[in-house]
Structure 1
Amino acid sequence: MASSSADRKAAPAYEVDLYSEVVIQDPYPHYARIRDLGAAVWLPANDLWAIGRHADVRACLADHETFRSGHGVAGNPAANSIAPGNLLASDPPLHDQLRRIVAAPLSLRALNEVKDRIAETADALVERLVECQTFDGMADLAQYLPVSIVSELVGMPEHGRENMLRWASAVFDMLGGANARAQAALPIITEMRAYTVNHATRDRVRPGGWVAMLYDAADAGLIEPTQVQMLMRDYLGPSLDTTIYATGHLLYLLGTHPDQWRQVREEPALIANAINEAVRLESPIRGFTRLAANDHQLGDVTIQAGDRVLILYASANRDERQWEHPDEFDVRRVLIDHVGFGHGIHACAGMQLARLEMRSILAAMVKRVARIEVGEPQLAINNVLRGYERLPVRFIAA
């Protein structure tokens, strides 16, 4: 039973639609207000509790018995009614079974087989871009590895790969609030599902690709044949949009902080930390929801069984209770517990792939790029994702 109106009236409330375009454009002041109001804050416009403080976000993500994903992780009932059962929207033991299958090609051991190819492709890409006067940091750089290599590894039929970015963006729009963007995403999701059922069939996917491995798992009895199409969709968003947006943020932050780029060039060992710091500061995923399975005390508020909770990764990652000067970009910051890749059993299965792609790009840039010049980025408007649509960039050769 969800919280009564009396329970909510006694709790701190924030009268802003977190999925509105004005908030999407500049969310961080709103997140700071939510953190200041309390551990759990009621959002009347969204019919959700918001959890924005770092310690509370990590605790909620770690407590998958209380904060359940199996009833969907979206901010609107329509999406939650059709999503449960995939990797993102499932609970143990189903989640553990599915993750073993989906995450197999994303492990460090599996990625070792493609590491050299990704590094060589990134090196050639950066070499070409140094010769350009200007280029679009999103289309020409951030999207390049995911579209040219990762989509091939996924192994969808060639004629559908050009739609993968559009489909992935729609998936995340659908996972937001009950608004026009979520509504507009539904026919695109229907198109994607039709493609996975009618075109990404066993005989048309790339042999040895990740989707083919799903068919192999079904043949081995590890998953049901009906789960193959659902799980192949789990590769679309995590392997594409989130990595692309994280790469764009990294590029922009290094371009607007030349002192930080200089430190990375002088100490390439800082590459991994620079990536983590960019993901912390500009989390590609703002947050997902969970459904409370039982009453749970958070600060002065009792979240009751049946309440839906929005867990704000992007707010937690800028919590002044956790970090000094959290709004600053510092490649030397000690980072062991940001939640830009999530936390707990639902931590991003593709985080090692994302890090490998970004690490390969930065390693190539360290050798060839003395200075990064960036123009004004154009923000992509999406209910859940934060990233750029376009980003003017120029590389000054070393």
Structure 2
Amino acid sequence: MKTSVGPPPTSAIDLFDDSTLLDPYPTYRALRDQGSAVWLERSGVYFIGRYADVRAALNDWRSFSSDQGIGLNPIINAAWDEALICQDPPIHTDRRRLIMEALGPVALKPVADTIASRASALAERIVAMGDFDAVTDLAHDLPVGVVMDLIGWPEDVRSQLLRLAEGSWNAAGPANARMETGLTRLQEMMALLADIYDQNRVTPDGFADKLIAAAHRGDISRDTAIGMLAGYVVAAFETTISAMAAGIWFFARNPDEWDKLRVDPRLAMGAANEIVRMETPLQNFARVTTGEVALSDGTILPQGARVIVSYASANRDQRQFDRPDAFRIDRREKQNLGFGHGPHGCAGQGLARMELTAVFTALAQRVARFEIVGPPDRALNNISRAFRRLAARAVPA
């Protein structure tokens, strides 16, 4: 129900300082409680964090456009001009179709057995290790061992792509030191992808090979193809790795939820969704309003406003989720926004869910419980949320 009409309230909160990035959820709640949108004085943007408003914005690309970039600085928005996430329909629709031919359910069905087999071997290895790093020992395995083959990256660049992908989302933040570092890493990654494209160095019949073939046919431009290749890097690495490591964190802290999964492995898909809701790998993207927009509480956003659309805040909104800060793998509220929503919903979400489900199903058959055995090392990032290292222990069943 609308309770106010007029411009949004203001806040002096710095959404991107270290202390906020370490634990952003209390800040998100404070901003949600101020209203449907809040003007962030330090960043010079509006913040939208309530579930109803975030979901509506993601559905309404005509009012909340991606065409002027989804970052919070002009450098990245110019650099990503050809990226799929910075396009609106109808251009976005045509280009996304190429991605979905590779990452959609039909294309992924033949690889399900491969992912399940790899997940089973990974679970056996984790149990044998006992103590392990949830990031490097666990979360890297399927993206590096399976997904890179599916995409078709040449062997000699795989470790380099993984290194460059880590932290590159910093480039989409506001002008700060993290943004500068992320921009350098992103530029290196784009240069590497351009070289791969120009030398046609991908393996035959992989996702990347098909995309490059579309560019050679003239369906898309070279720059568009390179931008879409970057999307494959994100789909393969950043989000899935972040979510998988976070799953170990949550199950170690919530052993009763792990017991639920061990009793009923069919809950693995629900567990994957709940992990992504609780620790949304890509926390925030920007949009630009194309006209005046009224939000759910009556707040009016002006035309041409750059706004932060916060998936992570929406996923902890107490207006939508019962006990939103509680990790519950059998949660009834299924419509979380961790993979986005609407035209720009994550094209790789089917692959990510497949990997997460397979790994936690395999672990549930072999592990009695997880323990955190060292201080967690967060990788502070303007946009993404992830662990850099997470020392854990798997206690055999």
In the other structure, the counterpart of 1:348 is 346
Q: Is 1:139 aligned with 2:144?
A: no
Q: Is 1:361 aligned with 2:354?
A: no
Q: Is 1:154 aligned with 2:141?
A: no
In the other structure, the counterpart of 1:81 is 78
CA RMSD, Structure 1 to Structure 2 (Å): 1.6
- Residue 310 of structure 1 aligns to a residue whose secondary structure is strand
CA distance in structure 2 between the aligned counterparts of 1:197 and 1:275, rounded to whole angstroms: 33
In the other structure, the counterpart of 2:274 is 277
**Is the Cα contact below 8 Å between 1:378 and 1:388 reproduced in 2?**
yes
In the other structure, the counterpart of 2:301 is 303
Deviation at 1:158, TM superposition (A): 2.0
Deviation at 1:339, TM superposition (A): 0.4
Deviation at 1:82, TM superposition (A): 1.8
Letter aligned with residue 314 of structure 1: A
Which residue, out of 149, 155, 169, partners 2:166? 169
CA distance in structure 2 between the aligned counterparts of 1:347 and 1:265, rounded to whole angstroms: 30
Deviation at 1:123, TM superposition (A): 0.5
**Is the Cα contact below 8 Å between 2:82 and 2:223 reproduced in 1?**
no
Structure 1 residues 335 and 239 mapped into 2: Cα distance closer, same or farther (>3 Å)?
Answer: farther
Question: Cα deviation per residue 1:296-350 (whole Å; 9 max; x = unaligned)?
Answer: 1223432111100100111100111111111001111113211011010000000
Letter aligned with residue 193 of structure 1: M
In the other structure, the counterpart of 1:388 is 387
**Is the Cα contact below 8 Å between 2:54 and 2:310 reproduced in 1?**
yes
In the other structure, the counterpart of 1:3 is none
Letter aligned with residue 347 of structure 1: G
Structure 1 residues 335 and 222 mapped into 2: Cα distance closer, same or farther (>3 Å)?
Answer: farther
Letter aligned with residue 342 of structure 1: G
In the TM superposition, what are the counterparts of 1:9-24 in structure 2 within 5 Å? 11-24=8-21
Deviation at 1:68, TM superposition (A): 0.4
Which residue, out of 329, 333, 337, partners 1:331? 329
TM-score normalized with structure 2 length? 0.95
In the other structure, the counterpart of 1:49 is 46
In the TM superposition, what are the counterparts of 1:181-200 in structure 2 within 5 Å? 181-200=178-197
**Is the Cα contact below 8 Å between 2:311 and 2:338 reproduced in 1?**
yes
In the TM superposition, what are the counterparts of 1:218-257 in structure 2 within 5 Å? 218-257=215-254
- Residue 290 of structure 1 aligns to a residue whose secondary structure is strand
Q: Is 1:205 aligned with 2:202?
A: yes
- Residue 199 of structure 1 aligns to a residue whose secondary structure is helix
Residues 182-191 or 141-150, more deviating = 182-191
CA distance in structure 1 between the aligned counterparts of 2:212 and 2:78, rounded to whole angstroms: 26
**Is the Cα contact below 8 Å between 2:65 and 2:290 reproduced in 1?**
yes
Letter aligned with residue 184 of structure 1: T
**Is the Cα contact below 8 Å between 1:169 and 1:382 reproduced in 2?**
no
Deviation at 1:202, TM superposition (A): 5.1
**Is the Cα contact below 8 Å between 2:165 and 2:189 reproduced in 1?**
no
Structure 1 residues 385 and 226 mapped into 2: Cα distance closer, same or farther (>3 Å)?
Answer: closer
Deviation at 1:253, TM superposition (A): 0.6
Equivalent residues, number? 391
Deviation at 1:370, TM superposition (A): 1.4
In the other structure, the counterpart of 1:100 is 97
- Residue 42 of structure 1 aligns to a residue whose secondary structure is strand
Q: Is 1:65 aligned with 2:62?
A: yes
Structure 1 residues 248 and 170 mapped into 2: Cα distance closer, same or farther (>3 Å)?
Answer: closer
CA distance in structure 1 between the aligned counterparts of 2:239 and 2:224, rounded to whole angstroms: 23
Residues 210-219 or 195-204, more deviating = 195-204
TM-score normalized with structure 1 length? 0.95
Question: Cα deviation per residue 1:2-52 (whole Å; 9 max; x = unaligned)?
Answer: xxxxx99x5311111111111101101100110100011000111110001
- Residue 393 of structure 2 aligns to a residue whose secondary structure is strand
Residues 295-304 or 54-63, more deviating = 295-304
Gaps of 5+ in 1: 1-6
Letter aligned with residue 393 of structure 1: A
Letter aligned with residue 381 of structure 2: N
In the other structure, the counterpart of 1:313 is 311
CA distance in structure 2 between the aligned counterparts of 1:264 and 1:57, rounded to whole angstroms: 30
Deviation at 1:233, TM superposition (A): 1.0
**Is the Cα contact below 8 Å between 2:54 and 2:311 reproduced in 1?**
yes
Structure 1 residues 284 and 226 mapped into 2: Cα distance closer, same or farther (>3 Å)?
Answer: closer
Gaps of 5+ in 2: none
**Is the Cα contact below 8 Å between 2:14 and 2:42 reproduced in 1?**
yes
Letter aligned with residue 188 of structure 1: R
Residues 213-222 or 88-97, more deviating = 213-222
Residues 309-318 or 161-170, more deviating = 161-170
Letter aligned with residue 12 of structure 1: P
Letter aligned with residue 267 of structure 1: D
Residues 268-277 or 156-165, more deviating = 156-165
Letter aligned with residue 351 of structure 1: Q
Deviation at 1:203, TM superposition (A): 3.6
CA distance in structure 2 between the aligned counterparts of 1:211 and 1:201, rounded to whole angstroms: 13
CA distance in structure 2 between the aligned counterparts of 1:228 and 1:335, rounded to whole angstroms: 37
CA distance in structure 1 between the aligned counterparts of 2:229 and 2:211, rounded to whole angstroms: 7
